[in-house]
Structure 1
């Protein structure tokens, strides 16, 4: 995170005619805002977390799809066997 030179910022505002009290408050507010801005490192960390989360979710979905596929296949085979026995008579 980049640091803000609040004193220098305040002096620059005063140099163009901003009253000292107003310049100080403006510098404080800007420093607060800058402390809440995400940095490149924050974004890299978030990206890594999202990639891990998505990977875990995809693995879970693959397992669920495989379970459904096996279940439907068994049900289909059972239905075909039942139909063959019923129509054989």
Structure 2
């Protein structure tokens, strides 16, 4: 989590002649922005989730491709067998 010393930041602005109200508002706005910035831990967690998701997608695609290849293999085997029987039937004896 990002941290920011809002009070200290506001006081530093006041020391360089920024009016107190402006310094407080500026410090609060900066705190809001810093709160929305991703930390290293946030990025590492996101990276881990993306890797996990990617692995799941790859596994699903591999399973789908295996099923498609098996369908084609069976279809081609049936077609070859049919052609062989047709060729044998019409061969002269």
Fold-level similarity (TM above 0.5): yes
Structure-2 residue corresponding to 1:8: 8
Gaps of 5+ in 1: none
TM-score (norm 2): 0.85
Residue 50 (structure 2) pairs with residue 64 (structure 1): no
SS in structure 2 opposite 1:2? coil
- Equivalent residue pairs, number: 89
Q: Which has the larger radius of gyration?
A: 2
Deviations 1:43-70, CA, capped at 9 Å, x for gaps: 1111111111111111111111110111
Q: For residues 25-64 of structure 1, what are the structure 2 equivalents within 5 Å? A: 25-64=25-64
Distance in structure 1 (CA, Å) of the matches to 2:19 and 2:84: 93
Distance in structure 2 (CA, Å) of the matches to 1:15 and 1:86: 99
Gaps of 5+ in 2: none
Distance in structure 2 (CA, Å) of the matches to 1:74 and 1:30: 65
Deviations 1:22-52, CA, capped at 9 Å, x for gaps: 1111100111111111111111111111111
State the Cα RMSD in Å: 1.4
